[in-house]
Structure 1
């Protein structure tokens, strides 16, 4: 199967070219905002207002963009940064790391929680189910760009990517879109649909993402300038995801042991 020849530029506004990759991020941000407001309206026991969700979006977007860019630079492209430090600001050329974006969101959650008088994990538990939609759309952007392809394969849906060679390869971007994107979103939405102990939803996200990302790494070709870190199968993506599984499992165990709930009554006070 030949990779579809998709123009990476979705449309142009005069001299400004709008790329599909950036457009996917924008749709993800607004989709997350809509989902957040839906949760605030339909689940008042969470103690969130739609105005707080609006404020939260600003922090999360800043965390994703800054953290994602810094993560891509320092985790995957440090040598290029040393050779050309200005490259870190050329976001339009691509280059975003999920793990860097995740750390950026963690920092944003901590700052937001402190300013709004909420606990870190109360905010984290609210944000976690909103994130996978953005992950799914980001992976779709990777697919449209024809980047981050998988290993050679003989499965019927294997694709020949122009930037690789003439071998059919796993469309690993779509695997990640379906796995750590939509599958994780559905699982998190279901799990968080009723009150859970504080930290449990955040822990579920870490475990779910870590497992699904690690699994996807077995199909995806590692970055050429990094390759395998050890054993001819251990990748940077795995190295950054496995600790997420461990931390997430610890958080879930502590959550159910402590049993603290973030549930509010109609007056806005904790029940």
Structure 2
């Protein structure tokens, strides 16, 4: 063991009798709960009733989980539908294999459905959830540490990460970029930026959400290029790199085109 290295756990599952308790699932649940609380505070600051975020989450969370899995299956189908693949394992979500892109898309669909049923403007919800989403993502990324996944290329930096083969518990040779940690820290910075600018500018029409998308994708681009795990590519470039660039451009165009003339002189508003 190198003294300067970041350690990684050798187990990510504990058992409460016959029930497996998975660290990654706990991190995801904690992130979702924190995001719901933050969003509810921000919705209340915009004049909506308490508890609205939880009502929206009833639709957004399960559809977001489905979306996260579907995106993974579309972009990495070989283990399930390729040669020697096992299609039934496509249902084994507890084995891992979810994507933030699918989660956000599915969550957005679920939120749209819930907002229509509850009579809430979708733009209000989008702006309220904007700083909460990257916080939830940061907490969820801790689950990758337990799973010894989402690591990067080999590095000699003092914060290089030790990685275990989780099937054997054996330590892999060398140290790796802890890209899950890079993304978690970046996400917290994006959350702080969105929250601060929103207090100053009072974003409306989903512009705070567009700012979140721009901030997240800007970081995800360089982080994605550091990743060493297997992924499908187009012209030798990871599929998620193309997704990142497209989403950044779309968010930027929306943010610029919807900028109101009076935005720069609006005062801040209370709320988290």
TM value normalised by structure 1: 0.85
| 1:247 matches 2:253 | no
After TM superposition, the structure 1 = structure 2 runs for residues 157-172 of structure 1, keeping only pairs within 5 Å, are 157-163=159-165, 165-172=172-179
Give the Å deviation of 1:40.
3.4
Q: 2:259 pairs with 221, 237, 256, which one?
A: 256
Query: C-alpha displacement at 1:55, in angstroms?
Result: 0.3
Partner of 1:197: 204
Deviations 1:137-171 (CA, angstroms, capped at 9, x unpaired): 22111111111211111111112312384121111
Equivalence map 1:23-102=2 (5 Å): 23-41=26-44, 43=45, 46-76=46-76, 78-82=77-81, 83-102=85-104
Q: 1:99-138 maps to which residues of 2 (within 5 A)?
A: 99-138=101-140
Residue pair 2:43, 2:125 contacting (<8 A) in 1 also: no
TM-fit CA distance, 1:257: 4.4
Distance between the aligned counterparts of 2:262 and 2:72, measured in 1? 37
Report the Cα distance in structure 1 between the residues aligned to 2:182 and 2:194, rounded to whole angstroms. Answer: 18
TM-score if structure 2 supplies the norm length?
A: 0.84
Cα drift, residue 47 of structure 1: 2.5
Q: What is the number of equivalent residue pairs in this alignment?
A: 251
Cα distance, 1:130 vs structure 2: 1.5
User: What SS does the aligned partner of 1:49 have?
Assistant: coil
Deviation at 1:258, TM superposition (A): 7.6
For residues 136 and 51 of structure 2, the distance between their equivalents in structure 1, rounded to whole angstroms, comes to: 21
Deviations along 1:114-144, one digit per CA (max 9) or x if unpaired, are 2122333222222222211221122111111
Give 1:224's match in structure 2, choosing from 230, 242, 256. 230
- Matched residues in 1 for 2:49 and 2:204: separation? 21
- Structure 2 gap segments, 5+ residues each: 166-170, 264-272
Which residue of structure 1 aligns with residue 222 of structure 2?
A: 215
Q: Which whole-Å deviations, capped at 9, do the CAs of 1:178-228 have from their partners, x for residues lacking one?
A: 11x21112112222235213121121011111101002112211x4252x4
Any gaps of 5 or more consecutive residues in structure 1?
261-271
